[in-house]
Amino acid sequence: MNLMKKIPGGQIIVPMLLAMIVNTILPSFQEIGGSTAALFQKGSQAMMGLFLITCGASIKIKEAGVPLYKGSVLLVLKLVLGGAAGWLANDLLGIYGAFGLTPFALFCALPSNNSSLYVALCDKYGDDSDKGAVSVLALKNGPFGSMLIMGMSGVAHIPATDMIGTLIPILIGFVWGNLDENFRTLCLNSQPLVIIFQSFAIGASSSLHTLWSAGFSGVLLGIVSLVLGIMIQFAYRFFLRKKSPLGVSMGTVAANSALTPSIIASADPVFHSMVSTVSAQCAAASIVTMVICPFLVSFFNRQIIKTQGANPAAGAPVSPENE
């Protein structure tokens, strides 16, 4: 656990890597049968359902006003621009993309963002209204955002029942979490455990060879996501009275986006052969964006200060000497 805490996205990266190592050395281990196979190889769907419940429980209905406004703007910008990037790549390059990077990878990674890093950046560059926006942004946690834009763009054939089936656990967590604070706390405490074993089950379907082949394209996916974050930053500033550098934080890729490909492939088997590679690419992109994004936020914060000056009011950019 200490090792996973030290590594960015470690609760996903470490179990996934461990599963790839096991599958490379002992490929028949997960197929031993019984509870072992059910947990380590076939349990991905059930654990994703649990993960979506924990995501739903993190959404607070009490967050209204400015937090709701900011979260909604960021959510729409992220989904629209992220979906447009995936659709454009699919239209111009086809399903197999270029440089090892497929439109499927874009659709899985770009709608997500690292909520933990966003909250941490809010402590330095934002205020309580920025931090409260994360409750709205939680709506795109997991595969729902990716499934929505892929289905609407016609890139994937996702039945309405699969969309509803993905939304139901989120709604259960949302309702229960808002009615019972103890349940919300339980979900927050349980989420790491669910993610760890979910990540192992995803990694068990691939090997170290897959990870090696996804290295360059995973970094490239991270760069594409950061560019998207910069685009969101320029658009986001038009919706705010007090300018904020936090729009660029939407350029991160959530570590849990590595869990999305398998869920989409279960709805549309066309993408089944890409799951292991895209999962590894999303994991790599999450690390790249987590490392670089804080520097971009700091840069845009300085640009805002140059244009409007430092303001001691809450939510204003912090002065360079305090960074």
| pLDDT tens for each residue of 102-117 | 999 999 999 988 877 8
For residue 62, being part of any structural domain is answered with yes
Interior/surface letters 47-86, b for 16+ CB within 10 angstroms, e for the rest: bbbbbbbbbbbbbbeebeebbeebbebbbebbbebbbbbb
- Rounded distance between C-alpha atoms, residue 166 and residue 170, angstroms: 7
24: its two tokens: 């490379």
**CATH number for the domain harbouring residue 196:** 1.20.1530.20
For residue 322, being part of any structural domain is answered with no
For residue 2, being part of any structural domain is answered with no
Residues forming a β-bridge with 98: 101
For residue 159, being part of any structural domain is answered with yes
176, 182, 187, 190 alpha-carbon torsion, rounded to 10°: -150
pLDDT band, very low/low/confident/very high, at 76 (cuts 50, 70, 90): very high
For residue 89, being part of any structural domain is answered with yes
For residue 154, being part of any structural domain is answered with yes
pLDDT of 284 > 50? The answer is yes
Residue matched to tokens 């950019």: 317
> What is the pTM (predicted TM-score) of this model?
0.74
Q: What is the pLDDT of residues 16-51, one digit of tens each?
A: 788 878 878 877 766 677 777 777 766 667 777 887
3-state SS record for 253-272: CCHHHHHHHHHHHHHCHHHH
**Residue 247 in contact with residue 233, Cβ under 8 Å?**
yes
For residue 202, being part of any structural domain is answered with yes
Residue matched to tokens 């550098």: 245
Full residue range of the structural domain in which residue 109 is found? 45-305
For residue 310, being part of any structural domain is answered with no
Closest CA to 90 of 114, 107, 72, 108: 107
Q: Report how many domains make up the chain.
A: 1
pLDDT of 131 > 80? The answer is no
